[in-house]
Amino acid sequence: MKLNWGHGVAIALGCFMIFILSLLYFAGDTGGMVTEDYYEKEVNFQDEIDAEKRANALEIKPEIILQANGFLFQFAPTTAEDFTGTIYLLRNDDETKDIKTSIKLNDKKNFLLPSVKLVDGVYELTLSWKENNKTYLIKKSIRWISQ
């Protein structure tokens, strides 16, 4: 059998399709959502923007201190008594390592997230709290390294 230019084009297209399909196969599952309630969060996105602006406008912002025993979240001494808050630590590589906890301040207006819950790596922190009927939000990347 003699090969002509038509056969060459067909072979080239076949090789290209095999290459593209193998890329898709080896890329793995990259279509997962970051959060399960993505669409609900999208509706409330303007509220998040406003909460971030309020947090950035604070004179004394909460501090996140890396300690050997975990992350210490230190709030202003003037934090109100009606304070409620939540900490989300999301891992981009494995959602089973995500952490969600409510904030319970001690008398020094601190909250310790113990190192037992943390795994080495980078977390996307979402710190949200409400006091005096106003919501505040801080988002940032933090890295935990066992000490």
pLDDT digits (tens, 9 = 90+) for 120-145: 999 999 999 999 899 999 999 999 98
Which burial class, exposed, middle or buried, applies to 102 when counting CB atoms under 10 A from its CB (0-12, 13-18, 19+)?
A: exposed
The answer for residues whose C-beta is within 8 angstroms of residue 72's C-beta and 6 or more apart is 63, 64, 65, 110, 111, 112, 113
Write down all domains in the chain, each with its CATH number in brackets: 38-144 (2.60.40.10)
pLDDT digits (tens, 9 = 90+) for 12-39: 999 999 999 999 888 876 666 566 777 7
pLDDT digits (tens, 9 = 90+) for 78-121: 777 888 999 999 988 888 889 999 999 988 999 999 989 899 99
Residue 37 confidence (pLDDT): 74
Cα(101)–Cα(105) distance, rounded to whole angstroms? 12
Cα(54)–Cα(42) distance, rounded to whole angstroms? 19
